[in-house]
Amino acid sequence: MAIEIPRDLLPVDGRFGCGPSKVRAAQLEALVTAGASILGTSHRQAPVKNLVGSVREQLAALFRLPEGYEIVVGNGGSTAFWDAAAFGLIERRSQNLVFGEFGGKFAAAAGAPWLEAPDVRKAEPGTAVAAGGGGGRASPAGPHNPPPPGGGARGRRLDADGALTVIDATSAAGGIEFDSAEADVYYFAPQKNLGSDGGLWFAAVSPAAIERIERIAASDRYIPEFLSLKNALDNSRLNQTLNTPALATLHLLDSQLSWIRDNGGLAWAAERTAESSGLLYDWATASDIATPFVAEAAHRSPVVVTIDFDERIDAAAVAKTLRANGIVDTEPYRKLGRNQLRVATFVSIEPDDVRQLIRSLDYVLENLGS
C-alpha cells in the first residue's frame, strides 16, 4: 500500500538533488523578465559582455580574492576543465587526491601521454587521505570538502618547490567558507550552491597559476584551441568566452551571486548550509536505524549529506516513497551501491524544508511495511 505523507509534514519545496540542484523561483523569474532580452543575442555585444563581467566581479568579491587573482571562465563543464588542465596547467606531473568519481576522472586526465604518470592518493569511500611528496613542478589536485564518498581536502600552497594547488570546488563553491589564498586554482561548475545550470566552468586563479598557463602556452606543447587555458584567460579578460556561452547559465548564476551577497556573502552561506546539514547529521546520529556515512564529523560535507541505514530499512524504498510524495532526488550515490540516502543541503535549500524532510522521513519510516 502506498504511503501518503500528510501535507503538514511536507517541505514547501521538495527538491534535494545534488546536481543539477534546486534553482530558486526568483532566479527563474529574473531570467524570463530581465534576462529575456539577452537570450539569442551576440556574445560579443555589450549586454552579454556586461553579464559576464558582472559574474566575474561578483565571484571575485564573494571569494574575497587576493591581489592578482582573476576569475577565468571557459566553455564546457568540469570535464572540459580537467582536459584543459592536462594540456595547459600541469607542467610535468601532478599529485591527485581521489575521494570519489570526479577526483578519479581528473586523475585519469592527468595521465595524458605527454605528462609523467600522476602520483594518485586514493581514499576509501567516506574517509580522508593526506597529501604528501609529489615532486617538483607538480600540481596537487583535490576536492574542497566534497560530497561523500569524500572526506575533505583543504588547499595548501606549495610555493617552495614551484607546485600549484588545484581545488575541485564544484559541490562546495558558494556554500563553504575558505581562504582563497590557500589555492592557486579553485575551479567549479555552477550548478550546485551557485544555483545555475551547466555548460561553463569557472576558476579563481593565482598569479602563479597565470604565469604557469602563459608559460606552457608559449612552449611547443600542442594545445587544442577549445582546451587552451590561455585562450580562456585572454577571453575572460575581455568578458567573453571562446564560443557562445550558456547565457541562461550566466544569468541564473548572476542572480544567485547577488542573492548570496545581499544576505551576507560566503559567511552567511556557510552558516546556512551548516545549519541544514547539521539537522540531518544530528537526526542520523540520534537514530537507532541510521548513521552518517562519513564517520569522522570533521570530514563530513556541509553541502551534501549521505546517511546509511541498517538492514531493517530499504533506503531505496524510502527514496521511492519520498519521490511519490514530491520529495525528489534523495536516491543513494549510484557508484557506491550502499543502503543509503543522499540529500543536498546547498544554500538555495531552506533549512525549514530540511526540517520538514526529517518529519517526512520519520513518518515514512514509521509506516514503511505496515
* pLDDT tens column, 91-145: 999 998 887 677 888 889 999 999 999 998 887 776 765 444 443 344 556 555 4
Q: Does domain 13-23+265-367 have CATH number 3.90.1150.10?
A: yes
- Determine the pLDDT at residue 155: 38
CA 244 and chain centroid, separation:
23
Q: Indicate where the chain has its CATH 3.40.640.10 domain(s).
A: 26-262
What does the CA dihedral 83, 234, 189, 104 come to, rounded to 10 degrees?
Answer: 20
- Write out pLDDT tens, residues 193-247: 999 999 999 999 999 999 999 999 999 999 999 999 999 999 999 999 999 899 9
- State residue 149 phi and psi, 5-degree precision: -85, 55
Quote the DSSP letter at residue 198. S
The dihedral sign for the CA sequence 281, 279, 194, 37: positive
Whole-number Å distance between alpha carbons of 17 and 19: 6
Bridge partners of residue 93, in order along the sequence: 138
Percent of the chain having pLDDT more than 70? 89
The dihedral sign for the CA sequence 346, 350, 351, 355: negative
Whole-number Å distance between alpha carbons of 140 and 132: 9
The lowest-confidence range among 161-165, 296-300, 304-308, 340-344 is: 161-165
Whole-number Å distance between alpha carbons of 39 and 353: 32
Residue 77 in grid coordinates: 563543464
Residues 293 and 306 sit within 8 Å (Cβ to Cβ):
yes
- Determine the pLDDT at residue 1: 66
Whole-number Å distance between alpha carbons of 98 and 93: 16
CATH of 26-262, one of 3.60.40.10, 3.30.530.20, 3.40.640.10, 3.40.630.30: 3.40.640.10
Q: Indicate where the chain has its CATH 3.90.1150.10 domain(s).
A: 13-23+265-367
- Determine the pLDDT at residue 141: 60
**C-alpha dist (Å) from residue 90 to 118, 173, 250:** 10, 22, 28
Residue 90 in grid coordinates: 600541469
Band (pLDDT 50/70/90 cuts) for residue 345 is very high
- Determine the pLDDT at residue 158: 44
